[in-house]
């Protein structure tokens, strides 16, 4: 019986791929993958495996989500093992839950294979622990993408008043707005912020600043980029021996 594996490929570094993900990738008949999947991962596919790119970038989608859902279904009708491969974890802003619901509605068997989420791994590998005693006892992972014209739910900025680590994914294009909104609800202008571009990869770039100046420092970084807001950002300098 056909099965679709909704699989997280981790934050980028191929060595952060889980053993279970590696096994299903090596056994797959079809791999349907996103933009943030490291191309090195696809080299693990067996000879004859069909690899289909359905990546999404800002304002440019190879396939809309409904067509990706249909593609998963039609491939599952023809093949025994279909892998839906996504960067990070498939259900952390990866729409894996939507794909699972579609497959379930069509009677197609599926399985989630969790991936290491970039929300935790990217800051950690950049020497920013997202919780740290004396700095932060909680964290929040937030989408940095807002589209009110499409009816998407908006962020309740007033809920960000408490002192916790905030991780914004897919937020580089909204960096200026994010900083303005956080200062607008009372965060001081010198509140620590870091932007990490292409985290865990060899060309990773880490820019550290404050809510007042991080936009000018980091606005031209390449995507994907992750934003960390909070006192934990200061731990990086301590770990690196900086003053």
Residue 238 DSSP class = H
Catalytic one of 20, 56, 106, 205: 56
Q: What's the pLDDT at 56?
A: 77
Q: Using 50, 70 and 90 to split pLDDT, how confident is the model at 243?
A: low
Quote the CA–CA distance of 155 and 153 in Å, as a whole number.
Answer: 7
CA distances from 44 to 21, 34, 48, 116 (A): 11, 16, 12, 18
The pLDDT assigned to 150 comes to: 55
* Secondary structure (H, E, C), 78-105: HCCEEEEEECECCCCCCCHHHHHHHHHH
Is residue 1 annotated as a catalytic residue, yes or no? no
pLDDT of residue 60: 63
Burial class (CB in 10 A: 0-12, 13-18, 19+), 186: exposed
pTM of the model: 0.92
pLDDT given for residue 154 in this prediction:
76
Portion of the chain with pLDDT greater than 90, in percent: 87
Question: Tell me, what's the pLDDT at 146?
Answer: 64
| Burial of 124 per CB tally in 10 Å (0-12, 13-18, 19+) | middle
What pLDDT sits at residue 242?
73
- Of 13, 86, 125, 170, which residue is the catalytic one? 170
- Catalytic: which of 34, 75, 86, 187? 34
The answer to whether the Cα torsion of 73, 74, 75, 78 is positive or negative is positive
Q: What is the model's pLDDT at position 99? A: 97
Of the pLDDT bands very low, low, confident and very high (cuts 50, 70, 90), residue 97 is very high
Residues 229 and 163: their CA atoms lie apart, in Å, by: 10
- Per the annotation, the verdict on 238 as an active-site residue is no
* pLDDT on residue 62: 79
Average pLDDT over residues 9-36: 97
Contacts of 169 (CB under 8 A, 6+ apart): 92, 93, 118, 119, 141, 142, 143, 144, 226
The whole-number pLDDT of residue 147 equals 60
- Going along the chain from its start, the domains and CATH numbers come out as 3-113 (3.40.1010.10), 118-239 (3.30.950.10)
Note the pLDDT of residue 90.
95
In this predicted structure, the answer to whether residue 2 has a pLDDT above a threshold of 90 is: yes
Q: Is 34 a catalytic site residue?
A: yes
Q: What is the pLDDT of residues 47-87, one digit of tens each?
A: 999 999 998 766 666 789 999 999 999 999 999 999 999 99
């Amino acid at each position: 019986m056909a099965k679709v594996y909704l699989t997280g490929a981790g934050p980028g570094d191929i060595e952060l791929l889980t053993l279970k993900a590696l096994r299903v990738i090596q056994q797959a008949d079809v791999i349907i993958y996103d933009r943030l999947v490291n191309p090195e991962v696809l080299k693990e596919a067996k000879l004859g495996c069909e690899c289909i790119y359905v990546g999404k970038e800002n304002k440019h989608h190879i396939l809309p989500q409904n067509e990706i859902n249909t593609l998963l279904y039609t491939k599952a009708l023809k093949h025994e093992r279909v892998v839906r491969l996504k960067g990070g974890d498939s259900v952390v802003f990866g729409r894996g839950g939507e794909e699972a619901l579609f497959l379930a509605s069509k009677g197609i068997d599926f399985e989630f294979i969790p991936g290491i989420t970039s929300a935790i791994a990217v800051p950690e590998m950049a020497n920013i622990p997202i919780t740290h005693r004396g700095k932060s006892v909680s964290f929040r992972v937030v989408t940095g993408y807002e589209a009110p014209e499409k009816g998407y739910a908006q962020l309740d900025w007033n809920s960000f008043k408490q002192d916790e680590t905030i991780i914004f994914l897919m937020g580089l294009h909204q960096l200026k707005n994010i900083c303005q909104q956080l200062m607008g609800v009372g965060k001081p202008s010198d509140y620590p912020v870091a932007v990490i571009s292409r985290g865990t990869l060899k060309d990773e770039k880490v820019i550290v600043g404050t809510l007042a100046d991080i936009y000018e420092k980091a606005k031209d970084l390449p995507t994907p980029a992750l934003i960390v807001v909070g006192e934990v950002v200061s731990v990086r300098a301590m770990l690196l021996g900086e003053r």
